[in-house]
Structures are given as C-alpha cells and as structure tokens.
Homo-oligomer: A and B are copies of this chain.
Amino acid sequence: MAKQYVFSFGRTKTDGRGDQRALLGGKGANLAEMTRIGLPVPPGFTISTEVCTYFYENGRKYPAELKDQVAKALARVEKEMGKKFGDAKDPLLVSVRSGARDSMPGMMDTILNLGLNEKTTEAVAEKSGNPRFAWDCYRRFVQMYGDVVMGVQRRKDEHHDPFEHAIETIKKENNAETDLDLTVENLQELVRRFKALIRERTGQAFPEDPEKQLWGAIGAVFGSWNNDRAIVYRRKYGIPHDWGTAVNVQTMVYGNMGDTSATGVAFTRDPATGEKVFYGEYLVNAQGEDVVAGVRTPKPIALLKEEMPKAHKELETVRRTLEQHFKDMQDFEFTIEDGTLYMLQTRNGKRTGLAAVRIACEMVKEGLITEEMAVQRIPADSLTQVLAPVFDRAARDKAVKANRLLAKGLPAGPGAATGKVVFNAEEAVAWANRGEKVVLVRIETSPEDLRGMIAAEGILTARGGVSSHAALVARQMGKICVCGCGDLHIDYGRKQMTVAGRTIKEGDWISIDGTLGEVYEGEIDTAPSEIIQVLIDKTLDPKQSQTYQNFDRLMKWADKYRRLDVRTNADQPGQAANAVAFGAVGIGLCRTEHMFFEGDRIYSVRRMIMAENEEHRRAALEDLLPHQREDFAGIFRAMKGLPVTIRTLDPPLHEFLPHEESAINETAAKLKMSPDDVRRRVNALHEANPMLGHRGCRLGNVYPEITEMQVRAIFEAAAEVMAEGIKVKPEIMIPLVGYPKELALQLDVVNRVAEEVRKATGKKINYLVGTMIEIPRAALVADEIAKYAEFFSFGTNDLTQTTLGMSRDDSGNFLPQYQELDIIPSNPFATIDRTGVGRLMKIAIEESRKTRPDIKLGICGEHGGDPQTVMFCHEIGLHYVSCSPFRVPVARLAAAQAALAEAASRKPAKKSAKGAKKAKKAAGKTAKKRK
C-alpha cells in the first residue's frame, strides 16, 4: 500500500489524532482531534510534514502518491460540504495554511479564499446574495496569492507595497474614506489592476484554475518553511530545521457574511493572570485577519452573550470540552458563519509565568491534571517573572504611546526598575543615601562598582552579555538589569548618554524592563510581586495572597519529585536569608572577594597587595581578619546549620587595585605611599589575560598566608556561632585547581588552621574541603585531585571559558553572529555546552569516583540556574546545583522536571542515577527539611 501523506478530518472520516503533532503539525493534529471529539470543525485535510521533508530532500518535488491522495481527500470534503471545487454554481472555497510541530506564529504563509476566480466569485455573489462580500473575498485572494505564491512584493525602489498602493489609488480616485466605501465595481476594477500588476511583475497570468491555485499555494507554504524569518525564528527558539511543516487545506467559513456572522479568538482562562474566566474577543461581520490587524477594536467575549446568545452558549460548551479533553488552557480561533459556530484552531495557550502557576495549581485542584503534570507543564524559567517587580501596565502602555521606548538590550535581571540616571558607583551611593531612586548606567561594570549596584534600583550597561559582571551580580542580588545595550553612547566625562537621538543627562529619569530588555525615557511606576511581599519583604500575609499560595504549592510538589538539591550563590547574610526563603538548602558558592569591597577594608586589601614581603602582608591580613570573621559569622547565622561552601580568594589581585588617577592618589594617601609607587605596583600586576593569570589557588599557594587568614576567619566565625547554639557546616572550596598538589598544599593550610582554632576555642568544627573543577586539566586528572577533595563543585563559568577558549567578556563580538550562522545552538555561557564542557564534566565524575566513590558533586557556575543545565546536572548524577537566590525556585522546578522526565523516559540512565543516589547517601550531609 502506498504511504499515507494526506490525512482527512471531517464528519465522515478523520485520519489524524491530537498526538500526531510530529506528522501533522500542531494545527493539523488539533483540527483532527477537535473533529474526533465532535467539535464543529470545517472539514479539510492535512498534508503531512513528511512531504515537506521529501520536498527539500528531492529538489522541491513531491512524492508520486501525493497528487492522487490530495484529489481523494478533496473529493471527500466536496462530498461532505455538498459543494464542488471550482463549481460555477456553488463552489467549495478553502484555506491553505502551514502548521509546524511547534507553533511559529506569523512566520510562514497562509492563503485564504482559494478556489475563487471570475466565475466562482459570481457564483458566491449570487449564492450569498452579497456581491460586495464575494468581490471583496476575491480581491483579498488575488492580493494574497499574488504576494505569497507569485512573489509580487515591494521592490527596494518602492515606498509602499504595490497592492496596497493600488488600493490607496482607487480609494483616492473614488473619494473613498475606508475600504468599506469601495463599491462592487471599484472592487472589480481593483481585481483587474491586481491581475495586471501580477502579469507585469511576473510575466505570468494569475491562475484562474482552482486546481492550479491549490498546488501553487501548497508549494508556497512548503517553500515558506525555509524563508529567512522562519529560519531565524527556528534558530532563536531551537526548533530543528528538519522537522518541516504540514499544510492544512480546510473549507473556508466566513465571519464576514453580515451581522449574524462573527470571528474571534479566545482563551479558556485568562492568559495574563490565569484566572478561570472565559477570556477573548470577537468582531461581528469580520474575517480572522481583521481581529489581528487591529483596524477595528474587537469586543470582549462577554458581550457575545448578548449579541449572539446561542453562539456564546455553544462557545462555553466548547471551552469546557477543550479543557476537559486537552487538559490544558487552550487558545482557540472560531468563526460564526450566519449563526453557525465553527472551530478553526486550538492550541495550548501561551501565558505569563503568573498565569502558568495559577492555572496549573487550579487544574490540579479541579482534578483535571496530576501534580506531576502541573510540575512538568510550567516552563521553569517563567518563575522569574513571578518573582520580579513589574511595571504598572497602564503606565507602560502610556510610555510606549508617548514614544518613550529608547532602546533594547539584553534582558539580564528580570523585573522593572525606574530611577534617576547616574553614571558611576559613587554617585549611585551618594544619591541613594539621600533617598533618590537611581539607575546605574555604565559602559560595563566591574567589582569596583558593586556598592553602586547595590544602591541602585537597576543597572543598565552598554557592553557585556547575559553573563557579564553586571548580569551576574544583578541576578545574584535579584537586581533589575539590562545589559549589552549597544545603542547607548555613554560619555562619562559629560555625565550624559545619547540614545535614539535623545540626550539623557545625570539625574534624568529612565525606566528599564529587565524581563524584556527595554529602556524607557522617564519614570514608570512599578510594584513588587506578591511572592516577594510575602517571602522577603514580609509585608503581605501569605493567606492574603492567592499567588503566593499557588507558588508555594507548586514548589512543594517540585520538592517531592526532584532528586537534585538546590543551593544558592550568596555572599551576604541578607542574600543568604532570601535564598533560604526561596528554598535553598545551603550555599553552594560564597565568594569571599565581594566582601573586600565593603567599607574601608579595600585599603587593607590594597595594603596587603602592595606589601613588599610576607611580614607586611601578614600585618595587612591581620587587619582584614576581623572583618572576614564577622562576614562569615553573619552568613552562618543566616544559614542556621545549612552547609555553606566558601571559596577562598579567586580573582587576580589587580582587580582590587585602583585604576583611575584620583583613586590612585587616594590610595597612596591612605597607604602612605607615593602615587608613583602605587602606579608601578598596579602596572606590575597588569595581566595580558587575567582570566588565565595569577588568581585562585595560585594566589593561595604563592601567598599561603592569604588562605590562612581566610580559613582562620571561617573557623573562628564558626566557633563563635556554634557558641551561640547554632550549628555550622562550613565547606571550604579551593578555586582554580589544575594540579593535585595545588589542592594538597592548600588542604595542609586548612587542616593546620582548623587544628589551631580548635585548640584555641575548644570547638571542634565539622568541615569539608573540596575544590572547584573549572579548568580542563582538573577534569582530566580528577582521580588524583579527588584524593584531596571531599567535594567537587563544577565552576562552569570558567570551565566554559577555558574549554571553549572563549572569554565571556569578549565573546559579544562574535557569539551573536555564531548563533546566526548556526555554529552554536545557544549561548554557552547561559546553557551548558553538553558536547564539550559536559563531556569534561562526565570525565571528571568518572575519574573522581575511581579514588573517592562517595565524592559530593555540585555545580556553582551561572549555569546552575538554567533549566536545561539543571536537566543535564540531573542526568550526570550531581547531588546539587547552586544558583543565585532569585533563581532557586526555577532550579527547584527544573530539578523536579528532570526527575519526572527521567521517570517518563522509561529508560532511566540507571547507572549514573544509581551512582548518584549511592553517593548522595554516603555523603549524607545535606539537611532536608521537606514535608
């Protein structure tokens, strides 16, 4: 038997099913499914995606069987409808639409009213008693066909689309205000002019033969799979190019046949809030494109109850049926033709993060879906939206209308912020101290800007990607941030920037949307999310917040299914407490260097760096010790017995030195040195490639007294906090280890100091010592390193930089093009590079277990908060991921999704899962307090 390429749907025969998205595309599968469950779908058929694949693999030819199968399916539709395609009396008209496996809205082509020609138009005119309707349809069809199938489009030397130009001309000639003022005769003339235009531009006549029209349209739809915008779209959303599209040929129905007709789109629940209300809009006497085009303002669906009560009632039934059947919120299109309801499409509705959580929770309560389904359904990333403060919607709309949208950058820290512009950290602090809300605008940020970033409502940078310093710090602090906004021209000297032809000076208001990457001129009101109000600000009673309760319920379900623990990257007690509120069960990365910038201690740090010998260095370190001890004590208290992984000093020393003239002079004065000496030292510490320079444990090994001070601060703080009756679990992490002995020597320092502190305080502290795996060599010799390491934490930021030989800070010059060119599937600094970096991680795990089977494994790079990476971490058997506090809920959810996906795959990666479980049990360190 010949292969089936064409799948009918209709009253008498429906071949397809809803689960055949891969074969029939989303639209085709759901048209079939709706037909199956008795919803009123105009009959038609779907040409499968396999034809598309065949089409591209065979020089744009079709399988031999196709023609016949299409003819048969068309005949069945004719029979059901009692109409004939091309019939001079009562012609069947069809639409031809694309429909890929995943929705690609607006990317591919659509042809409506196909089957019309001079003759059939007259027939429709007669049959409908509405010649204007008929000729308007024909006019639209010729225009659409001419554009999409025959390729008549605006040339570079033209200002307008030629068809639209013809319409405008005829309107002027006839003093017509709108399209509706054109008469039948005008429309007939317009069709003639369209046809002439087509002949002139293409040298070919517009095909009057409906058969020809049909195959032309089918070819155009398949062809549109590979148009530029479709390719770009697929690249952006990670849709494989070889999936192909299906083509849906369906009987036309008309919402524009008078006041008993209408067309609309609706959602089974509110996609913005998730509320269980019938949500949508419609237009009487209109076609679908009119709703989208926005020429007329559609009415809310509730009004339909009054205008067409019967249809409204039917729609309510449809709404219930759809949700009952599809078990998800549906976004559907309908048309009412002369009082009769037709369903044209349904699909799972897109929704905000807020709505996703509410819908999932309520559907569980309604018994529609299971907890597992709820957990799996919500895109983990969308939770960031639930947590972020937002612009007041009306205020933003007003700003857009007022043309105040200035530029777009990369969405780096979700949420909305508004404030006065300042161009340096000192001003940010000063302005904030006097009660001003500020947005810190920098070309790029560095650790020196940290205090300014803390003081600011939001951060805006001209350079740097989503993993730049600004973005990293912003996410960790839950700050709103837009980065890499290349349109900004910042002039620090004049304290101003120009963008979109406007000049913004220090003190001017701007507003930024870190969820969308937008920058606005002026002030726009914001509000914190309810979840933040409950968990962090504690200004809202949880019982008062439906949103919080849904969120909390979801998180509890997630915790039930996930195997991975979620820790956080935090280096301040406040951050740590926030993370615990968000469900973190420990700190996976506490950077000690951020603390070096607080208050005046930077001068002690600089004194330490400038020291000419060990003795002077020790004296400066002595100054720092009480500060570090205090920092660590604060964190231990905030974490209340949860494990805290503290990384010893990591960045190259020159990061702590002053670079601008004034800062050099100030430092010289503070340190009683000459500015020349300070400058000399700064220059001497300059590095060609600081990422690969004298940093991490290379500092700790060359200057063991630095490690000694830090470790002493940790242990003394631990003893102090233990004396208060609080448990403490420090895990000391040595960064940038590549050679086993680098760790062994640092381990000696740690153990020696631990013993000294034990003797001095009488407190025996339980601690672990481990290392980051962040350079390839460490992964390759992990068996040797594991001899000295009780845990490994994958430092995937640096591991990605070194494995890919790609500087995060400099990759902005080529990564975007690399995504365009399809060289890389996604930003490797956001989502782990499974093939390269991932393989090294697997090697490291395998090697480490040779010498230490129960080694504890985690990840603390920025990737730890990325859902796809969390999935990978689950697969390779890590014990925990660590991410910034505001991404903890995302990671919890993603971890649960990973576990559920594994269970669903029925071929669980048994070995690694088992290994991890065993190892987890053996490590047995992580407190779990889940119900």
> Chain A: residues with CB nearer than 8 A to chain B?
687-694, 698, 701-702, 736, 738-739, 741-742, 745, 774-777, 780-781, 798, 801-807, 809-811, 813-814, 817-818, 821-824, 833, 835-837, 839-840
Contact = CB atoms under 8 A, between A and B. Distances in A.
Nearest to A738: B804
Q: Which of A774, A802, A810, A837 is most buried by chain B, counting CB atoms within 10 A of its CB? A: A810
Contacts of A823: 701, 739, 741-742, 745
Contacts of A774: 805
Given A694-B810, A774-B805, 10 more contacts: A689-B691, A692-B692, A692-B802, A698-B814, A701-B814, A745-B821, A745-B823, A775-B804, A777-B804, A780-B839
A687 B776 contact: no
Contact of A806 (B692, B809, B813, B817): B692
Contacts of A775: 803-805
For the residues of A in contact with B, the DSSP-based class is helix
B690 A688 contact: yes
Contacts of A801: 689, 692
B810 A689 contact: yes
Contacts of A824: 739
Nearest to A685: B813
Q: Which of A687, A741, A814 is most buried by chain B, counting CB atoms within 10 A of its CB? A: A814
Given A690-B688, A776-B836, A780-B836, A702 B810 contact: no
A822 B823 CA distance: 42
Contacts of A798: 805
A691 B807 CA distance: 8
A813 B689 contact: no
A791 B222 CA distance: 40
Given A690-B689, A692-B691, A813-B694, A803 B821 contact: no
Given A698-B814, A802-B803, A805-B798, A822 B741 contact: yes
Contacts of A698: 814, 818
Nearest first, the 5 A-B pairs at minimum CB distance are A775-B805, A777-B836, A692-B807, A689-B807, A693-B810
A813 B741 contact: no
Nearest to A446: B688
B810 A690 contact: yes
A177 B807 CA distance: 71
27 contacts: A688-B690, A689-B689, A689-B690, A689-B801, A689-B809, A689-B810, A692-B801, A692-B802, A693-B810, A694-B813, A736-B805, A738-B804, A738-B806, A739-B818, A739-B823, A739-B824, A741-B823, A745-B821, A776-B776, A776-B802, A776-B840, A777-B803, A777-B836, A777-B837, A781-B835, A802-B802, A802-B805
Contacts of A687: 807, 809-810
B836 A781 contact: yes
A749 to B, nearest CB: 12
Contact of A701 (B689, B693, B818, B839): B818
B835 A780 contact: yes
A687 B690 CA distance: 11
Contacts of A822: 741
A82 to B, nearest CB: 54
A811 B693 CA distance: 6
